[in-house]
Amino acid sequence: MVEKQQTPIDNAKKHRSKMKRAFVLFVKLSFITIILLAFYTLYLDAKVVEKFEGQRWQVPVQVFGKVERYSIGSEINLNRLKENLLLTGYRRASNVTKPGEFALSKKRIIIYRRAFDFGSGVEEAEIVTLDVISKNQTQQVSQLYIDNQAADFVEIEPYLMGRIIPENKEDRVLVPLQSVPEKLLDTLLLVEDRDFYFHSGISPLGILRALYSNIKAGRTVQGGSTLTQQLVKNMYLTRDKTIWRKANEAIMSLLLEYRYSKDQLLEAYINEVYLGQHFANGIYGFGLASEFYFGENIAQLTNAQMATLIGVIKGPSYYDPWRYPERTKKRRDLVLKLMFNAEYMSKEAYLSALNTPLDIRQTRRLAQAKQKFPSYLQLVKKELSEMLSPALQESGIRVFTTFSVSEQIALEKTVDEQLNELAKKNEHDLQVAMIVTDIESGDIKALVGDKKSGYAGFNRALHAKRPIGSLIKPAIYLAALERFQKYQLGTLLDDKALSFDLNDGEIWRPKNYDGEYRGRVSIFTSLVKSLNIPTINIGMELGLENIADVIHLLGYSDDITLRPSLLLGSINMSPYQVNQFYLPIVNKGNFVQSHVVDSVISAQGETLYQHIVEQTPYFSAQASYLTDYMLIQVAQQGTAKSLTWRLKDKIVAGKTGTTNDQRDSWFVGYDAKQMVTTWLGRDDNQATNFTGSSGALTLYAHFMGHIGTVSKVNYRPTGVELVNFESKTGLALGIECPNSITYPAINEGLTLNFSCSEKVIKEKKKRSWFEKLFGT
C-alpha cells in the first residue's frame, strides 16, 4: 500500500489545526490562571484587610500618669505643673513657638501642647494659656484659653510612665500622623518615595529614577521600592528575596492602595518601619526610635535628628550610631544635603546641622524599657488583672492612672535622703514603704516599695505584712464615739495594771509604752498620748467581735483572731492595706476605694473601664469629726508633736505606730488634701531602734515639706458643740467648775451636770482703802 504524500495545503491545514488547539489550550490555561489569580488576589485582599483593619501590631500596653484637667476656678499648683511638664519632655522657653514648649510667669503659664489622644480621638497640637490668681492660700485658674479662644476646660498631656512589652518583644510608641512634624514627612518622602502621592503602589518611574541617582552618586542614595511596597514587606511578608515574594509584594501594594487612603498608609508606615534593635527588642516606628536614639518626643526632633532617623531606614544595623558613628553621620549629612537642596531648611540651618554631632543618648539601654517606677506599675498590673481578661491586657490598651510623677520623684528623694540620715543613728539595714493618696478621691498618686529607686523586686508596700501596733487605736475610739450616749472625749477610762489569762496557760500583762499608770484618763488623752491600757479597757467594753467588725468594715478582708492583743495592733497588714484602712477615718467617715487605674482605652478608642469615685458613709460625721480632732492634737501635743516644728505653722493630723521591740515604725499622716502611709523596718524583722515618731514620721515630714502642705481647716459639723468636762469625773457640765476642760462633744442626748464634785470656795477679797472710800 502506497502512503499518500502530504501536500503543502495539507501541511498548512495541519499547522492551522495545531495552532487552533494550542490557542484554545492557551485560552483555557489563561482563563484558569486568571481565575486562580483572582481567587489568590481575593485571598491576599482578605489577608491585607484582616491585619490592616484589625490588630496590626502587638502593641505594648501604654501606662500614663494622671490627666490633669483644669477649668475656671480649679486649684492649680504652677510649680508642680512645671515639674510635670519638664518630666514629660516639655522644654521651658521664653517664647513658645513649637509643640513641646511652655513659658511660665508668676500668674500665667503658656503651654504648646503636643498632639495627644485623651481617649476620644487625637487632639491636634494647641497653645493653652492659663491665668492664675491666689485665693485662700492656694492658686486658682482665673482665665483659660486654647489658641487664644476662651475655653471651658483644658486637659494636659500626661506622663508616659511605662510600656508593658508583649511576648513577641516588639516595643512601639504609636503616633498619629498629626503628631509627626511636617518636615520629617516631607524628608521621608523625598528620600524614600517622592512620588508616593501619585503612584498606585508600584512605581516604574521611581525605580528608574533611583537607578539613575545611584549610578550618578556612585553609591546607593535612593531605594527603588515605594513606601507602600516597604510597608507590605514589613507588615505582611518575610525577608526572602524570591520572585514569588516580589509578586506578592506588588499585588498587596496595589490592594492596599485601592482600599486605603495615602494618609492611612503613610501613618501605618511611620509606625511600622524597623529602625533598630534594643537588645532582644526590636525598635519599630519613628515614635519609639525618637526615644531610643535621642530620648526625645517625635514632635521635638531637630533637623539633624530627623535626618539621622531617615538615614537609618536604609540599614539599621549598618548605620548603628553606637557601633558606627562615622558611617551614620555620613549618611545623616547626605540626607541633610537633600533637605537643603529641596529647600526644607535655610543655608544657616543646614550648616548648623552639619556641624552638629550625632547627639544620640550615651547608652543603648532604654530607660523606658527598664521601667522607672516598677513598684507603682506592679499595682497597676494587679488592678488590670482584676478588671480585664489576659487577652484584653495584651491588645495595645492605653491605661490612664492616678500617678503624679512630680510627687513620685519627691517621694523617692525623701526615701533616699532621709534613710541616709536615719542610717547615721542606726547601722542596721533599714527598708521602707510609702504610699501617697488623695483623700477625697482615693487616687494613689505615688508609691515606694523599696529604699532603692527603680527596684523591681519585692514590693514591701503591697506584700510586706507587719503588725500595725498603735495604728489600730483610732478605729477603736471611732467605734466608741459612735456610741455617743456613753462615750465622749471627756469620758474617763481606767489606766491601771491589767492581766489576761491566755489559752496556753500564760498570763499577758500589757503596759503603757512609758511603763506608768495614771489611774483614770480621758478618751482624749488616751488616744493623743497613745496609751495602751485605756485602749484595751474601752476595746473590751465594746467587745472584740465588734472591733473585728469595724476592722473589716474599714477594708481589711483577712480573718481576725479574737484576742485582747488585737486592741494593741497584733494584726498584720501591708502598707497598702493600712492605707485603705485609714481612708474612711481621715475622709470624714466616708469609705472611698483607693485605686491607681482611672480608665482603660482600647486600641480602637473604646472605653473598657472608667473608675467612678463613690463615697459611702460608714461612720457619722460627728464621731468622725471627734476622731479627726484628736488626730490633729496627736500632731500638736501628742506622740507626733515634733511636726509642730518639722512642719512649722501647718495644721496636720496623724497617728504613730510602734510594734514590740521597735521592729516596725509606722506613721499615717494627712493634711487637707492627701494622706501618706509610711512603714520603716527591717526585712529580717529585727529591732530598728526607731519608734513611729523618731522613724516613719520623719519621712512624712520631709516629703510634705518638699511638696507643700495644705493646712487642715477646722470644720465643726451640725450636732457638735464645745462642752466643759470635769476632769475628775468625766461628766459634761452645764456650769463652770474647777479643774474642767473643754472638748467638742456630740450634743444629741447629752446630759449636762449642774453641780461640781468639788465645792467651790470663793474667798472674799479684802477691799482696799480706795475701794472703801469710792466703792468697787
Please report, as a single letter, which amino acid is at residue 2.
V
3-state secondary structure of 443: strand
Pairing between strand 68-71 and 153-156? antiparallel
Largest CA distance in the chain: 184
Collect all residues with Cβ–Cβ distance below 8 Å to 168 and sequence separation of at least 6. 58
Show the cell assigned to 305: 535628628
377 to 167, 173, 371, 567: CA distances (angstroms): 18, 18, 8, 34
CA distance 453 to 582: 26
Show the cell assigned to 710: 495644705
CA distance 90 to 110: 12
Q: What is the DSSP string of 722-743?
A: EEEEETTT--EESS--TTEEEE
3-state secondary structure of 49: helix
Place of cell 484628736: 630
3-state SS, 643-711, equals: HHHHCCCCCCEEEEEECHHHCEEEEEEECCCEEEEEEEECCCCCCCCCCCCCCHHHHHHHHHHHHCCCC
Do the beta carbons of residue 62 and residue 285 sit within 8 Å?
no
Collect all residues with Cβ–Cβ distance below 8 Å to 160 and sequence separation of at least 6. 62, 63, 64, 65, 88, 368
3-state secondary structure of 496: coil
CA distance 408 to 726: 48
* Phi and psi at residue 407, to the nearest 5°: -75, -35
Collect all residues with Cβ–Cβ distance below 8 Å to 685 and sequence separation of at least 6. 466, 663
Collect all residues with Cβ–Cβ distance below 8 Å to 761 and sequence separation of at least 6. none
138: which DSSP letter? Answer: E
3-state secondary structure of 502: coil
Place of cell 503624679: 404
Collect all residues with Cβ–Cβ distance below 8 Å to 299 and sequence separation of at least 6. 98, 99, 100, 114, 115, 125, 179, 180, 181
Catalytic residues: 192, 470
Do the beta carbons of residue 657 and residue 634 sit within 8 Å?
no
Do the beta carbons of residue 102 and residue 112 sit within 8 Å?
yes
Place of cell 500638736: 636
CA distance 662 to 418: 18
CA distance 159 to 86: 10
761 C-beta neighbours (distance < 10 Å), count? 6
Q: Which helix (H) or strand (E) holds 15?
A: helix 8-53
